[in-house]
Every structure is written in C-alpha cells, then in structure tokens.
C-alpha cells in the first residue's frame, strides 16, 4: 500500500468564531470537525496525519485531539513559527501573526517525504472528497501534476454571513486561474467580491471553488521556498501584515508552467463553523450522517 499523508493546517485562531474553533465539539460524543476529517482520511487510505499548530497550543491539541487519534493512525506535529523562514530572509520586528497557508505547509517539509493532501482544520469536507483525492495521490500525482478538490459554490455557503473562497477557472479539467473572493448570498444571487478590489462577480450555483483541499508531492516544498523569497521582495513595504497563501503560490506555478493542477469535482457538501450561529446546522448535518450510517455514533472507540 502506498503511503500518503494528510497535512492539517491548524495554526490559525478562529477570529470570527471567537476562540480556538478547532476544538469546538460538533459530534454526539464531543467529537470535533477535525475528528471527522481524520476518520474520513483513515477510511480513504491515508497512512499518516501531520498537524501544523502553534507551539503554545501543543498541550491542548495533544490532550484533546491527539490522544484519541494517535490510536488510529500515525500522528506527527510541526509548529508554524513566524521566524522559521528560508535562508536569507528575516521576519520584521513588528510581525505578530503567522505568514499564511503556504508558510504553514512549508513547516512540514522535514516530516513529509510522500504524496500528501492538505486541508483546513475547521472545515468539514465530506468522505467523497477524501476518497477522490487519495486515489489521485496513489495513482497520478507527480512532481508537476497536482490536484485540488473542486466544490460547487452553492455547497459551501453559510446563511450567517460571508465566506472566503477561491473562485476557480477550469479548462479541460485543469485549473487555469484562482481568485480569492469574499462570497455571500444576496437575495437569489451568489455574489463574489475579489480581494484584489476588482469588480464583483455573480456566480452560478455549480461554479467550482477551492476549499484549500489540495494534493501535492514534496516538490511543492522547494517551490514554496522559492516563492517565499520573491514574496519578501514584492511585499517589503507591508511585511508586517501581508499573507503568503497557497492559492497564490499555485496560481504562480500555473502561470510559470511549473505545475499543473487537476480539478477533481465533488458533490460533497462543506460544513464549517465560520460563525457561532453555524454550529447548530453542523451538529444537525453530522447527526443525519450518523443516522445514514456514514459515521458510527461514537467515532473513536476506546
């Protein structure tokens, strides 16, 4: 069996939710969204989990999430540190928050030597997405052929406010462009406002979006390192606030013809606690999946 790893980016704090939303119970036995992601990963053939966390959250993570998951699958931890940077660059004195998702991935470079997937810790992706991405990683991933799971925008929205999504332009099954946007329903319409300030876009309900569920090989670590060095040059005037995000790295890789990104469509429905008001809906959806025998009533049996 080919080894594949799931990298879970869990270093961010849930600013809009108000607290460490990764450890907010949503299952009937105090399970977190992360628990369901790991369960789906194990069921789909992943052989290792790597958590990217903040050093100061290590104890609470290991006591809550780690101790039950470590019985199911190999688990490792890495820390996202704002001063852990490629040779030749240095964090400015005023920098407080982590550098973003691309930097979070880079934190795992010494732990991952096999094809791997990345996900956010606080998003519920659905079993189908893990199965599809695992199959890609085992059969088709190469150093220049990666993949992302493409969700239908209508399956990724909350009724309680706007969300940030990567709006995807797809051609012949491959990603051509990705635009980070703030998306929300406005009456009967789905409207996306690009973060770069360009004109808003009206989306159709089946338009593909990225939920930061990507499949890579370790080649991506070298490319992220290269791009982070140029990022520091480009953003030298706002290094105390700018973010180094994986969608931007992917976009550059496609433009530079360094990588290709297959888009793996899914009908899976995203669930997440972007806002406190989202939690009851997530709890309800998970309970329905339990009733339909997708998950056991008690996810991890001691």
Q: Which residues contact 225 (CB under 8 A, 6 or more apart)?
A: 86, 106
pLDDT band at 122 (very low <50, low <70, confident <90, very high): confident
Helix then strand count (H, E) for the chain reads 8, 13
What residue ranges do the domains of the chain occupy?
5-291
Give one DSSP letter per residue of 52-97, joined into a string.
EE-GGGHHHHIIIIIHHHTTTSEEEEEE--TT---TT----TT--S
Q: Which residues contact 296 (CB under 8 A, 6 or more apart)?
A: 290
How far apart, in whole angstroms, are the C-alpha atoms of residue 4 and residue 14? 28
Residue of 134, 135, 163, 168 lying closest to 151 (CA atoms): 168
Q: Which residues contact 182 (CB under 8 A, 6 or more apart)?
A: 162, 163, 164, 192, 193, 195
- Give the pTM: 0.93
Once rounded to an integer, what is the mean pLDDT over residues 288-297?
Answer: 96
The predicted-structure confidence for 180-201, as pLDDT tens digits, reads as follows 999 999 988 999 999 888 899 9
Q: Phi first, then psi: what are they for 296, rounded to 5°?
A: -70, 160
Region 5-291: CATH code: 3.90.550.10
147 vs 64, residue with greater confidence: 147
């Amino acid at each position: 069996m080919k080894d594949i790893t799931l990298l879970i980016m869990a270093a961010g704090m849930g600013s809009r939710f108000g607290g460490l939303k990764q450890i907010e119970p949503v299952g009937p036995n105090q399970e977190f969204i992360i628990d369901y992601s790991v369960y789906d990963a194990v069921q789909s053939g992943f052989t290792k989990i790597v958590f990217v966390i903040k050093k100061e959250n290590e104890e609470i993570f290991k006591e809550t999430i780690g101790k039950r998951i470590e019985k199911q699958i190999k688990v490792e931890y890495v820390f996202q540190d704002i001063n852990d940077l490629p040779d030749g660059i240095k964090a400015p004195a005023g920098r407080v928050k982590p550098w973003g998702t691309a930097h979070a991935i880079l934190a795992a470079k010494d732990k991952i030597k096999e094809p791997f997937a990345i996900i956010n810790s606080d998003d519920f992706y659905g079993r189908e997405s893990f199965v599809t991405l695992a199959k890609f990683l085992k059969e088709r991933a190469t150093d220049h052929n990666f993949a992302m799971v493409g969700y239908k925008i209508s399956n990724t929205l909350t009724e309680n406010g706007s969300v940030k999504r990567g709006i995807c332009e797809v051609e012949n099954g491959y990603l051509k462009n990705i635009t980070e946007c703030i998306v929300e329903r406005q009456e009967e319409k789905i409207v996306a406002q690009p973060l770069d300030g360009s004109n808003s876009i009206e989306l159709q309900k089946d338009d593909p979006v990225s939920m930061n569920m990507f499949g890579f090989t370790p080649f991506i670590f070298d490319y992220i390192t290269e791009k982070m060095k140029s990022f520091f040059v480009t953003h030298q005037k706002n290094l105390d606030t700018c973010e180094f995000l994986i969608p931007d790295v992917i976009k550059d890789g496609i433009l530079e013809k360094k990588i290709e990104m297959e888009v793996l469509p899914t009908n899976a429905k995203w669930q997440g606690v972007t806002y406190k008001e989202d939690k009851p809906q997530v709890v309800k959806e998970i309970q329905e999946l339990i009733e339909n025998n997708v998950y056991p009533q008690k996810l991890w049996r001691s």
